[in-house]
């Protein structure tokens, strides 16, 4: 491996991260239209970095388990709260979300759009043959979610899922790596 003049190594992971959570029984927000009102009772732990050096999540997917699921949003929170009972607006922030549309079908998979990381993607400086304009800065970077040491990732839904029945839930899957 070559090194730079600053002697920095590329970001490497120690072990893979594969995690899942089932959400939708209780709303993760006290006000469904305000992402700054987390409700610990509706949040489910997805990734715990409270006792390691952190992680990078490169994808989060939602799997719909039943047709005609309630229209809502699946929310991703980063928090310093070590338990759901201590989640508050002061220690928890919504960092990503994806809408579950009306008319969903069983087995439908939705990918959560994650923010760009500081790692650039090579060879995206000029337009592709099928692209009219130049790629945006987001297109020129890998996306993911950096989870610092001592932080936790919780997931939940903006409102309770009650359709097609009260026991309807969705599964949230994350993959990436721990440092």
Provide the pLDDT for residue 2.
Answer: 47
78: exposed, middle or buried (Cβ count in 10 Å: 0-12, 13-18, 19+): buried
pLDDT tens string 44-93? 999 999 999 999 999 999 999 999 899 999 999 999 999 999 999 999 99
Domains of the chain: 19-120+134-178 (2.60.120)
Neighbours of 118 (CB within 10 A): 8
Whether 17 and 175 have beta carbons less than 8 Å apart is answered as yes
Q: Return the structure tokens found at 177.
A: 């790596």
Rounded to an integer, what distance in angstroms lies between the CA atom of residue 121 and that of residue 128?
A: 14
Pairing status of strand 54-64 against strand 15-23: unpaired
| Rounded average pLDDT over 26-40 | 94
């Amino acid at each position: 491996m070559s090194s730079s003049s600053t002697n920095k190594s590329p970001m490497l992971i120690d072990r893979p991260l594969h995690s899942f959570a089932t959400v939708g029984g209780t709303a993760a927000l006290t006000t469904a239209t305000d992402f700054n009102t987390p409700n610990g009772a509706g949040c489910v732990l997805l990734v715990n970095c409270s006792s390691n050096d952190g992680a990078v999540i490169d994808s989060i997917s939602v799997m719909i388990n039943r047709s005609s699921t309630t229209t809502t949003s699946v929310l991703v929170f980063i928090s310093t709260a070590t338990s759901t009972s201590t989640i508050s607006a002061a220690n928890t922030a919504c960092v990503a979300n994806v809408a579950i549309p009306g008319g969903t079908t069983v087995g439908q998979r939705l990918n959560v759009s994650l923010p760009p990381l500081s790692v650039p993607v090579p060879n995206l400086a000029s337009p592709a043959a099928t692209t009219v304009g130049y790629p945006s800065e987001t297109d020129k970077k890998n996306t993911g979610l950096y989870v610092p040491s001592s932080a936790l990732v919780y997931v939940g839904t903006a409102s309770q899922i009650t359709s097609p029945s009260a026991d309807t839930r969705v599964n949230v899957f994350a993959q990436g790596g721990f440092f």
